[in-house]
Amino acid sequence: MIKIGMMIGDRYEILEKIGTGGMSDVYKAKCHKLNRFVAIKVLKQEFSENANFVSKFRTEAQAAAGLMHPNIVNVYDVGEENGIYYFVMEMVEGITLKKYIEKKARLSVKEAISIAIQVSMGIEAAHNNHIIHRDIKPQNIMISKDGKVKVTDFGIAKAATSNTITSNVMGSVHYTSPEQARGGYSDEKSDIYSLGITMFEMLTGRVPFNGETTVAIAIKHIQEELPSPREYVPEIPISVEQIVFKCCQKSPDRRYQSMAELIDDLKQSLLNPDEDFVKVVEPDRRASTRMITDREMERIKRASAEKDNLDESMRLNRANYGNHEDGEDEDYEEDYDPRMEKITTILAIVAAIIIGCIVIVLVGRALGLFHLSGSKDGEDAAQEEQTEQVEMPGVTGMAVKMAQDRLRKLGLEPEVKYVENAAYPQNQVISANVEEGMMVDPGTVITLTVSSGTEGVSVPKATGITFEEAKNTLEKAGFVVNKNESSSSTVENNYVISQNPESGTRAPKGSAVTIVVSTGAEDSKIRVPDLMGKEEDEAVAMLVEAGLPVGTVGQINNEDFPEGQVCYQSYSVGSFVDPGTPIDIKISMGGKAATYTYSGNITGPTREEDPDYNTEGTTVKVTIVTADGTKLLDTQTTSFPVAVNYSGIKSPTGTITFEYTNVKRVETGTAEDGTPTTEEVKEEKKIERTIEFTEER
């Protein structure tokens, strides 16, 4: 008997009941060994002495325990203690897809497709492990608070062999495939059918087939054509409609043959929603709708009657942890069918012939007897295919930030190297390692040599220490720290792999030092894809494919990216994040470009800039020029400060230049009377200051 507060397995403390079903109860618990919350599914006491129910319960645990995927509710542990059978699952804080659909009435096309892709990826992982779910429905799909979609409830799943599974087990009748409804075989394509029905419900807010009894609904799955979802929601794109139709074909041979095929079409529908690219195999006699036979009708009624005799008590509550309807499985004895045996024999012979042909071709190619020109042509084409190159822009004399931005827009990777140089102002590009006008591949690293002025600060060593230590060291030296992440099998997690500029070089105080921090081995992290410049739909598809949820989606004005393109992502490209980390994006609204202001008082040359500057009466020419060459000020003055106020500036940085003549007397000798003789010496001076403007809001 489970009681609140009791311990199970010497590690799981029962906190509260969060769900109940026909055969099991689900509790929230705390694992004291790993200090985390988990969900524990416990077989009800009245069934714990029934070997059949215990077997079913263990089958569910074993089917799910072998699967580890971001889109599947993971099973951590299985056990039995004092007659209590239980297994421990990942605790998912969220709601079922069924509740989510009810809450929103129906989902948008983009949201429905994004969820369908994640569900498909979870089911694909199960299929790759030879597990067929057989009860895909919105009640068995969880949406966590962070937007992650997870498939749960493998209660009537079975391991797939090289042959199809023969069983009378049906999932929930509203989502069951025609072959399951007949009590016939079920395979991976049965899950595809159920997912198609689930997509129909996401898009329209209703199931396609309804009836007064489970038998009536099952017969509709077998005999009636699926209605078009566009009948209920006309704005659904044709590609999405065709995907649903292909998933829900009566004949399994006309459906998608794998989840990978379905995922490809779902992604394509995000990019080209109005394109009719879905291809369905032409119908044949086996694929056509036909009347149900008396034998099949009897089989459906028998299955339905036995399910009804359980008074719905055997409906497992899985994905919602007890708050949704769920079909309980029951294995029925399959009648011997000589036709099926004949078909199986024929298929086995055909398969043997095909395998024999493949072996002959492979051996022939190895001995040089065959030459498959098509394959060779494909290889040559792949080798000849090259990425379109870009032209290296001129960056010499440009502010380093502006040069970096320009290179990144072209798909190039800027790297900064500082050197002391009196001829160039601080943070101005002196040269690049690639000449202007040269054609280079996207992704090429461009090394920019940048002036640190004459008062550069030595960059301290930041490698080989933790990120916190490196950040503290660099900031104490007066630098700004930029952090990038990269996986490494040799550098420990959170330790610095490299830095730019390198230690020992000199760079302006206040400039940025970029450090690359290890995220440990790549296996446990997910690399963040490059979303910049992508359309919103494509960016969402890329995140879904990477297994990362979409965070908040905002809009901002940005002149660098056309309207509708991603111009910001919350994690840098190529960095590694934990599975389930939401990625925020911002979409460019185009339009108004960023502008800047500059107001205040310009002080004259300081003693640090020129110890010989005479503050009394020296005429100084003062100019202010922005990084794009716009002259804001050109004046002469004998007194400081000079008040300025400018707005609408199009560049973020600029340069103040002071030009004047220093006049001083220098001793040239001694007069007859012993007094020193002097003469007036003039020295032309030019002093430059780099300034940053304030962005207008």
Residues acting as catalytic residues: 135
Find, among 656, 657, 653, 655, the residue nearest to 692 by Cα: 653
Spell 479-498 as b/e; 16+ CB within 10 A means b. bebeeebbbbeebebebbbe
Distances from the Cα of 610 to the Cαs of 405, 613, 640, in angstroms?
Answer: 34, 6, 15
Per-residue DSSP letter, 282: P
Distance CA 293, CA 296 (A): 5
* Other CB atoms within 10 A of residue 350 CB: 10
What backbone phi and psi angles, to 5 degrees, belong to 638? -110, 0
* Peptide bond just before 442 cis, omega within 30 deg: no
Chain centre to alpha carbon of residue 171: 32
Strand ranges (DSSP E) for 267-397? 390-391
3-class secondary-structure state, position 546: helix
Per-residue DSSP letter, 527: E
Q: What is the dihedral of CA 38, 44, 48, 54, to 10 degrees?
A: -60
Helix (H) or strand (E) holding 687: strand 676-692
Length of the chain: 697
Distance CA 231, CA 193 (A): 20
Distance CA 181, CA 169 (A): 8
* Other CB atoms within 10 A of residue 19 CB: 19
Q: Find out whether 482 and 452 touch, Cβ atoms under 8 Å.
A: no
* Other CB atoms within 10 A of residue 42 CB: 21
Q: What letter represents residue 619's amino acid?
A: T
* Other CB atoms within 10 A of residue 48 CB: 16
Distance CA 441, CA 358 (A): 40
What backbone phi and psi angles, to 5 degrees, belong to 639? -140, 150
Sequence-distant (≥ 6) Cβ neighbours of residue 658 within 8 angstroms: 604, 605, 620, 621, 622, 685, 686, 687, 688, 689
